[in-house]
Amino acid sequence: MAFLMSSGSWVVISLMLLSYQGRGAGQAKRPGAIRSGAFRNHRLRRRMERSSRAGRLYLMFIGLATASLGLLFVWLMGRSYLRAHAMRSWPEIPCTILASEIKDRRIDPNGATEFQFSVQYGYQWQGQALTGDHYTWRGSSWSSRKEKAEELIKEFPAGSQKTCRVDPANPTFAVLKMDSQAAGYSIWFPGLFVIGGLGIAGRALLKR
């Protein structure tokens, strides 16, 4: 009986030792598992940061590109408005239409014929006889509608007396028709692209 009790005690003690060793082995592995999980979390965090940074850079590029395009149109329309506004102060003097005709062209053999109103007029500036050929600042535009050019021929027939505006800084340049100031009234539209684009870029820059 004593032998059995002694044997049973040894069995219990052995099981307790094995259990303790198992817990010790598990505890020995736990720091490595923690380190492995921390490394995975670090890599995931780095990947998310790179993805977020790339997204911010993309939004900044889109925003700045939109703002730049809007700024270009603001500049073009502003320049057109200022030029048209300055023309209102040019002196208006009498001129004589020397010649007016319709020119035609066809860029593509299979395309439609385009027409342009062509004019030449003479005027006096400080006792000097000068000639001009600009209907507007850019000249007459080409159009597939011949009736537009025909209407201008009727309005400015050869030999008729009209008035033209002369650039006092360059008296050799004159126009029969002043440019429109409409560009100045529409400049707010591309301005929205400037504001919107800068807003997108700013939010992308400040985003964390």
Confidence of residue 135 (pLDDT cuts 50, 70, 90): very high
State whether residue 201 is helix, strand or coil.
helix
Q: Would you state the pLDDT for residue 18?
A: 46
Q: Would you state the pLDDT for residue 49?
A: 59
Average pLDDT over residues 190-208: 83
State CA 29 to chain mean position distance. 59
State whether residue 207 is helix, strand or coil.
coil
pLDDT at 3 over 50: no
Asked if residue 70 lies in contact with residue 95, where contact means CB atoms within 8 angstroms, the answer is no
Give me 146's structure tokens: 């011949």
Q: Would you state the pLDDT for residue 140?
A: 83
State CA 99 to chain mean position distance. 43
Mean pLDDT over each residue of the chain, to the nearest integer? 80
Q: Would you state the pLDDT for residue 45?
A: 62
- Predicted model pTM: 0.61
Q: Would you state the pLDDT for residue 98?
A: 96
Average pLDDT over residues 122-131: 94
Average pLDDT over residues 137-151: 88
Q: Would you state the pLDDT for residue 25?
A: 46
Sheet of strand 161-166, all strands in order from the earlier edge strand to the far edge: 128-132, 114-125, 92-105, 161-166, 174-175
